[in-house]
């Protein structure tokens, strides 16, 4: 009995090896060419998730969003502070009217409010409050950043303040930033602080000193936000109240800055760099500029009044809206071609095949040939089969492309040289309704139809039954 089992095991192993080799050969012989499809539209390769009242949010208006090292997502709004653990939203007590958030290296969270209070929440949710008694006589903590030395820099309606590691609060030592109404602050990986005020001025703070101060209204533009260029040291992006972003070097006059148009995105509230794209959050919605300076406005987000955004540790993008709640954009391993082209709408897709960078799509209502931009490519075979019901499309090792149809076309072969051959009942097929085909010696020459199997021998014009 033991010898029989041993022989069976050896036989099974040999069969498995044979199948693996056969599968590998088949994949090599019939490999599809998907060149050009790695740069599909953003909408096709990403998923959108809108969080609103129905999703469990306690309210809809948010002014800030942040992620702590433990993975929690925090959102702040006039309704308070909300924490998301990936499953449920929880409104935290002890703080109201939140307009800004900043995460510390130790996992704590600084919270700016619209009632003149600065709050530190420790990783175990203990809160420390800073207000008038601590020397902070303001109405609103507009934005918060950390510099390279661990100082907390925060912009208010009464200027730019410092909270140093000892706990002392004071104004930045520069009269140009005293009494100014700060619009926004951001920082780069080197701890350099970039900011703007409601008078349209842009400033850069390094080592607690104002290193640059630009007056943008002097060129007829109105500033909304500013951030450092993550790819070019010494360059900045300035978001305007119009549909424009200014880009240039801090060592050059602002009149020389490049003007980048962002149609449809009015009042640009935040700019961040993520995954080779410059992301834009605005009152008009969300968009990005790619590495080739092409601008895309996301059209299917149902999202506007975007105030703040972050990229989380998994590469997902989170956008906070002052009206619409929260939206998450995440990259998918699958591409939804319905987002690329309307040609697939209301069609039942039965089969696909990729050849020379073109996607052949067989549906119940005809053949589609699409390029990587979702556009129809009209080839001779398309004209013939555009209204035929297609069950299977397969390519073979000879460069031929086969189509199994439920139509007068029966089984159709588009040869590598472009010649088109039909195998129908007139050629000896038992039926024109061909369900599938399979190969013999790496050539597709056997078709299964409604009434049996047909073998196509070599290059003959008739089928042998």
Question: What does the pLDDT look like over 239-263, one tens digit per residue?
Answer: 999 899 999 999 999 999 999 999 9
Say which DSSP state 461 is in.
S
In this structure, the dihedral spanned by the alpha carbons of residues 117, 119, 90 and 100, taken in order and rounded to 10 degrees, is: 70
> Do 43-331 and 337-455 have matching folds?
yes
The answer, yes or no, to whether residue 47 has pLDDT greater than 90, is no
- Of residues 339 and 128, the one with the higher pLDDT is 128
Domain 43-331: CATH superfamily is: YVTN repeat-like/Quinoprotein amine dehydrogenase (2.130.10.10)
Average pLDDT over residues 194-220: 94
What tens digit of pLDDT does each residue of 288-297 get?
998 888 998 9
pLDDT at 335: 66
The answer, yes or no, to whether residue 460 has pLDDT greater than 60, is no
In this structure, the dihedral spanned by the alpha carbons of residues 4, 6, 8 and 11, taken in order and rounded to 10 degrees, is: -130
Average pLDDT over residues 95-114: 96
pLDDT at 452: 57
pLDDT at 129: 96
User: Of the ranges 38-42, 357-361, 389-393, which one carries the lowest mean pLDDT score?
Assistant: 38-42
Average pLDDT over residues 119-134: 95
Q: For the chain, what are the domain ranges? A: 43-331, 337-455
Average pLDDT over residues 273-294: 91
What confidence category does residue 10 fall into, taking pLDDT thresholds of 50, 70 and 90?
A: very low
73-77 and 434-439: which strand pairing? unpaired
- By percentage, how much of the chain surpasses pLDDT 90? 59
- The reported pTM is 0.71
Contacts of 64 (CB under 8 A, 6+ apart): 75, 76, 77, 98, 99, 100, 101, 112, 307, 308, 320
pLDDT at 6: 44
**3 state SS of 251:** coil
Say which DSSP state 232 is in.
S
Q: How far apart are alpha carbons 63 and 308 in whole angstroms?
A: 6
The answer, yes or no, to whether residue 465 has pLDDT greater than 80, is no
Q: Which of 257, 329, 262, 266 is nearest to 289 (CA)?
A: 262
What confidence category does residue 305 fall into, taking pLDDT thresholds of 50, 70 and 90?
A: confident
Average pLDDT over residues 275-285: 92
Say which DSSP state 376 is in.
B
Q: How far apart are alpha carbons 53 and 225 in whole angstroms?
A: 29
Q: How far apart are alpha carbons 247 and 233 in whole angstroms?
A: 12
Q: How far apart are alpha carbons 140 and 76 in whole angstroms?
A: 14
The dotted CATH code for 337-455 is: 2.130.10.10
Q: What is the mean pLDDT of the chain?
A: 85
The answer, yes or no, to whether residue 90 has pLDDT greater than 80, is yes
Q: Give CA 96 to chain center in angstroms.
A: 32
């Amino acid at each position: 009995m033991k010898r029989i089992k041993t022989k069976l095991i050896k036989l099974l192993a040999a069969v498995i090896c044979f199948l693996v080799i056969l599968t590998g050969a088949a994949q090599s012989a019939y490999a599809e060419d998907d060149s050009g499809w790695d740069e599909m539209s953003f909408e096709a390769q990403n998923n959108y998730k809108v969080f609103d009242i129905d999703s469990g949010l306690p309210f809809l208006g948010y002014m800030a969003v942040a992620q702590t090292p433990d993975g929690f997502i925090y959102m702040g709004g006039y309704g308070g502070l909300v924490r998301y653990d990936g499953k449920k939203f929880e409104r935290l007590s002890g703080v109201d009217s939140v307009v800004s958030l900043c995460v510390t290296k130790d996992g704590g969270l600084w919270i700016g409010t619209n009632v003149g209070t600065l709050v530190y929440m420790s990783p175990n949710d203990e809160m420390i409050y800073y207000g008038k008694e601590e020397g902070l006589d303001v109405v609103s903590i507009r934005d918060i950043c950390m510099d390279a030395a661990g100082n907390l820099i925060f912009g208010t309606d009464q200027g730019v303040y410092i909270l140093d590691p000892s706990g002392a609060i004071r104004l930045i030592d520069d009269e140009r930033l005293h009494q100014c109404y700060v619009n926004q602050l951001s920082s780069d990986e080197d701890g350099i602080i970039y900011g703007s005020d409601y008078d349209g001025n842009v400033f850069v703070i390094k080592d607690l000193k104002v290193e640059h101060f630009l007056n943008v209204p002097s060129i007829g533009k109105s500033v909304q936000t500013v951030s450092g260029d993550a790819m070019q040291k010494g360059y900045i992006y300035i978001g305007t109240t119009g549909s424009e972003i200014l880009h240039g070097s801090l060592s050059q006059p602002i009149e020389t800055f490049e003007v980048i148009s962002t149609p449809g995105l009015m009042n640009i509230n935040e700019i961040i760099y993520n995954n080779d794209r410059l992301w834009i959050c605005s009152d008009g919605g969300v968009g990005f500029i790619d590495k080739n300076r092409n601008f895309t406005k996301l059209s299917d987000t149902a999202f506007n009044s975007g105030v703040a955004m972050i990229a989380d540790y998994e590469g997902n993008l989170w956008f906070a809206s002052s009206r619409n709640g929260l939206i998450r954009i995440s990259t998918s391993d699958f591409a939804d071609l319905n987002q690329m082209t309307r040609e697939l709408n209301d069609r039942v897709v039965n089969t696909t095949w990729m050849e020379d960078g073109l996607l052949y799509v067989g549906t119940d209502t005809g053949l589609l040939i699409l390029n990587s931009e979702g556009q129809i490519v009209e080839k001779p075979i398309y004209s013939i089969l555009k209204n035929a019901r297609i069950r299977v499309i397969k390519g073979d090792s000879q460069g031929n492309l086969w189509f199994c149809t439920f139509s007068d076309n029966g089984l159709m072969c588009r040869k590598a040289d472009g010649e088109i051959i039909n195998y129908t009942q007139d050629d000896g097929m038992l039926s024109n309704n061909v369900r599938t085909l399979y190969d013999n010696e790496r050539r597709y020459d056997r078709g299964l139809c409604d009434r049996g199997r047909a073998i196509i021998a070599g290059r003959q014009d008739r089928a042998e039954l």
